[in-house]
Amino acid sequence: MGGPDDLRIVRAPGRVNLMGDHTDYQEGFCLPVAIDRYVYVACRPHRSQTIAHYNESFVLPVAIDRECVAAVLPRSDGRVVARSLDMEGVLDVAADGSDHPDTVDPPWGRVVAAVVAALATRGRDPVGADVAVSSAVPVGSGLSSSAAFEVAVALALCDAASFELDPVHVALACREAEHRATGVPCGVMDQLASACGVTGHALLVDCRSLGVLPIPLPPDLAILVVHSGESRALTNTPYAQRRAACEQTARRFGVATLRDAAAEQVADEPLARHVVTENARVAATALALAAGDVDALADAFAASHASLRDDFACSTPELDDLVDGLVAAGATGARLTGAGWGGCAVALVPHDRLEAVRASAGDREQWVCRAVDGAGPMEA
Ligand code: GLA
């Protein structure tokens, strides 16, 4: 019998990456932070045909629309039915994962279908569920709205079927879902950050072993994220070509991935040189954060942005101007964050300069972010 007690809410954070871009799919290192912008999923397992009664006393987080959750219709077992509070349409797929993402509508539901399938292959029972999704992670900004969406849906579906999956495997299932639903051959950083975040910490991620080491963030530096004004979806960028080019170079050097390439080997190879030098900057940044060494942070951020701009060629004039302006206004360091080709810059800013640095960004959208825990259930 369904009832208000069955209604569970999970949330999954977006992420901002402090250092280590275009390294994850070369088994390198990165340093993301799970941020206090979430995708929320309300979910009710669907084990019987009985419509659940909605309990007015149940307190929902602001981002979840009470009407929409209440409007879920009764359905037969074995279906996952998902609504989005932000996008049109209702998704209805088999909970056993047999619906191929390419065949489903609405388009945003393809990722949900792919998550259902990825969990099914990992042994989740085909328990149906009514799912309502609401996102407060800015879309098209490089803050991993899509990974947060996948992780939130995955946790809700695991919860509905009492299926246990540790956060790293949730992240791997979600990366598989992203590949299948969008065709973008992303690495694991975004999903891992959303699943494994730690309050007050950045995550030093080894993308080969999938080990995650929390690095304390200096309390006197704020994390400021500013949108360049250019929105983009990874499907419309050269992301896949860059990844393929890195793989080709690794093969030419006879190494499994560019993580294993030596600095001398890649001296004349801009893409590979970016990956190798960026991996070193991740280690330097983790040490500098832990030691509160602002000079080392400034150096690493400046070198990283230059490398992304000149070697990896994934910056834009807007991002370059933005980064220059943030540093000129007093940020300790600033760089583009995520895949680039638009999206956001991230800056570390001493609190007493925050106002001036924010003002330098003019009317661009901006967020001061806190480092939060990874995805999980919300207390009702
Ligand atoms: C996107 C991908 C990640 C990573 C970054 C660049 O966010 O989803 O896997 O490759 O770009 O660092």
Q: Please identify, by atom number, the ligand 1 atom nearest to the C-alpha of residue 187.
A: 9
In the 8-state DSSP scheme, what is residue 14?
E
51 torsion bin: left (phi>0), alpha (psi -120 to 50), beta (else): beta
Active site positions, annotated: 190
Q: Please identify, by atom number, the ligand 1 atom nearest to the C-alpha of residue 21.
A: 12
Q: How far is the CA of 22 from the centre of ligand 1 (A)?
A: 6
Q: Is the minimum distance from the CB of 186 to ligand 1 under 6 angstroms? A: yes
Structure tokens at 39: 């995708």
246 torsion bin: left (phi>0), alpha (psi -120 to 50), beta (else): alpha
Which of 71, 97, 98, 101 lies closest to 84, judged by CA? 71
Instruction: Determine the residue of 16, 189, 305 to mutate for testing ligand 1's pocket, defined as the one with the most ligand atoms within 8 A of the Cβ atom.
Output: 189
Q: Please identify, by atom number, the ligand 1 atom nearest to the C-alpha of residue 178.
A: 8
Cα(143)–Cα(148) distance, rounded to whole angstroms? 9
Task: Give the H/E segment covering residue 354.
Answer: helix 354-360
Predicted TM-score (pTM) of this structure: 0.91
Per the CB < 8 A criterion, the answer to whether 172 and 188 are in contact is: yes
Q: Is the minimum distance from the CB of 24 to ligand 1 under 6 angstroms? A: yes
Bridge-based pairing of strands 79-84 and 128-135 is parallel
Q: Which residues contact 65 (CB under 8 A, 6 or more apart)?
A: 85, 132, 134
Q: How far is the CA of 303 from the centre of ligand 1 (A)?
A: 19
User: What is the b/e burial string over 139-175, where b = at least 16 CB atoms within 10 angstroms of the residue's CB?
Assistant: ebbbbbbbbbbbbbbbbbbbbbbebebebbebbbbbb
Cα(215)–Cα(201) distance, rounded to whole angstroms? 5
User: What is the b/e burial string over 89-103, where b = at least 16 CB atoms within 10 angstroms of the residue's CB?
Assistant: eebbbbbbbebebee
CB atoms within 10 A of CB 213: 13
Q: Is the minimum distance from the CB of 190 to ligand 1 under 6 angstroms? A: yes
Sequence letter at residue 35:
I
User: What is the b/e burial string over 336-369, where b = at least 16 CB atoms within 10 angstroms of the residue's CB?
Assistant: bbbbbbbbbbbbbbeeebbeebbebbeebebbeb
Cα(19)–Cα(30) distance, rounded to whole angstroms? 6
Q: How far is the CA of 46 from the centre of ligand 1 (A)?
A: 35
Q: How far is the CA of 177 from the centre of ligand 1 (A)?
A: 15
Q: Whose CA is nearest to atom 2 of ligand 1?
A: 186
Q: What pairs with residue 223 in β-bridges?
A: 348, 369
Q: Is the minimum distance from the CB of 339 to ligand 1 under 6 angstroms? A: yes
Strand ranges of the sheet holding 29-30, from the earlier edge strand across to the other edge: 29-30, 201-206, 211-216
Instruction: Determine the residue of 16, 24, 203, 282 to mutate for testing ligand 1's pocket, defined as the one with the most ligand atoms within 8 A of the Cβ atom.
Output: 24
Q: Please identify, by atom number, the ligand 1 atom nearest to the C-alpha of residue 147.
A: 8
Q: How far is the CA of 254 from the centre of ligand 1 (A)?
A: 24
Q: Residue 46's pLDDT is what?
A: 67
Q: Which residues contact 321 (CB under 8 A, 6 or more apart)?
A: none
Q: Is the minimum distance from the CB of 25 to ligand 1 under 6 angstroms? A: yes
Per the CB < 8 A criterion, the answer to whether 178 and 147 are in contact is: yes
Q: How far is the CA of 320 from the centre of ligand 1 (A)?
A: 19
Structure tokens at 281: 């900057």
Q: Whose CA is nearest to atom 8 of ligand 1?
A: 186
- 59 burial type by CB count under 10 A (0-12 exposed, 13-18 middle, 19+ buried): exposed
What 3-state DSSP class applies to 32?
Answer: strand
Q: Residue 5's pLDDT is what?
A: 57
pLDDT mean values, one per 10 residues, the chain (380 residues): 66 98 98 97 66 35 40 57 92 95 95 98 93 89 92 94 96 98 96 98 98 97 96 87 98 97 96 98 98 98 98 97 98 97 96 98 96 89
Q: Residue 48's pLDDT is what?
A: 42
Q: Whose CA is nearest to atom 12 of ligand 1?
A: 21
In this structure, what is the dihedral angle of CA atoms 354, 359, 365, 367, given to the nearest 10 degrees? 10
